[in-house]
Amino acid sequence: MPSYDYPFNERIRTLLRVEDLFSKVLHNLASSDENHHHSALLTLLQISDIVDRADLRSDLLQELARQKLVMETLRGNPAIAPKKLDSLISDLSTAEASLREENTKLGQTLRTNEWLMAIKQRTGIPGGVCEFDVPSYHFWLNLGEERRKQDLLSWIQPLMPMYQAILVILKILRGSGATLKKVAPNGVYQEMLAGAKPAQMLRVDMADITQCFPEVSANKYAINIRFLTLDNAQKTQKYENDVKFSLTLCNL
């Protein structure tokens, strides 16, 4: 079932971006092909850009601690499965401990590697890492699968506590809120929002057979969703049929 997340603020947007990039890094790392490892490295350098601009460590530690307190207050609630609650609290504690233990600044291992930073600088130029531009990089790509994986893991490992913390927080965020069945007449849905605590993200889930995708414009006051489709030339077109979907307003 296709699912679309739409963040309402920059904080959640950053977490979703890091999650997306990390999933691509790990997917490409699992391959043995040098081109996949090339993609993994370039994506890892993108992650370093994001964590360099955002004070993620303190933000994540504060959120993990806050969520642990919230979860502890749920003990004894008959509507909450004790084993699932214990598992979630354990995940929060593990993520917090790992993040505190990794005491180097996020991305510092990458930023202090002059060779990686030289490659990063070249990636801003189309085709800038061709073998005649950076022969040392192509030498590295040809060192073999095991060497490439060993190096990539050494660069990724210091960032793993951050990634695990983000996964736990996004799991809680996506699991919050009630999921409601909705219909968008002629591919358009609008809803005014009210409540003391504004949502931080909305999720749109659709059936596999639905031949359209949502374009979301939302803030703490209102939601506007237009459903679009692609023609044969990949140009977006308004979807004219009614669309059934599920909507979840998420909040930490």
| Separation of alpha carbons 76 and 21, rounded Å | 38
**Distance of alpha carbon 114 from alpha carbon 55, whole angstroms:** 23
Residue 19: its pLDDT value, please? 96
- pLDDT of res. 75: 81
Q: Would you give per-residue pLDDT tens digits along the chain (252 residues)?
A: 789 999 998 999 999 999 999 999 999 999 999 999 999 999 999 999 888 765 788 899 999 999 999 888 888 777 777 888 888 889 999 999 998 887 778 888 898 999 999 999 888 888 888 888 899 999 999 999 999 999 999 999 999 999 999 999 999 999 888 899 999 999 999 988 876 677 889 999 998 888 899 999 887 788 999 999 988 888 889 999 999 999 999 988
What's the predicted TM-score (pTM) here?
A: 0.90
What b/e string do you get for 33-50 counting C-beta neighbours within 10 Å, with b at 16 or more?
Answer: ebeebbbbbbbbbebbeb
Phi/psi zone of residue 191: left (φ > 0), alpha (ψ -120 to 50 degrees), beta?
A: beta
User: DSSP string of 45-92?
Assistant: HHHHHHHHHS-HHHHHHHHHHHHHHHHHTTTT-TTS-HHHHHHHHHHH
pLDDT of residue 221: 83
Residues 203, 205, 210, 216, Cα dihedral to 10°? -10
Phi, psi of 210 (to 5 degrees): -70, 125
Residue 171 pLDDT: 93
Element (H, E) at 101: helix 82-101
pLDDT of residue 187: 92
Residue 172 has phi, psi (to 5 degrees) of: -65, -45
pLDDT at position 113 is: 92
Domains in the chain (CATH in brackets) are 9-171 (1.10.3900.10), 176-250 (2.60.440.10)
- Beta strands (DSSP E) in the chain are 3-7, 179-184, 188-192, 201-206, 213-218, 222-230, 236-238, 243-250
pLDDT at 54: 59
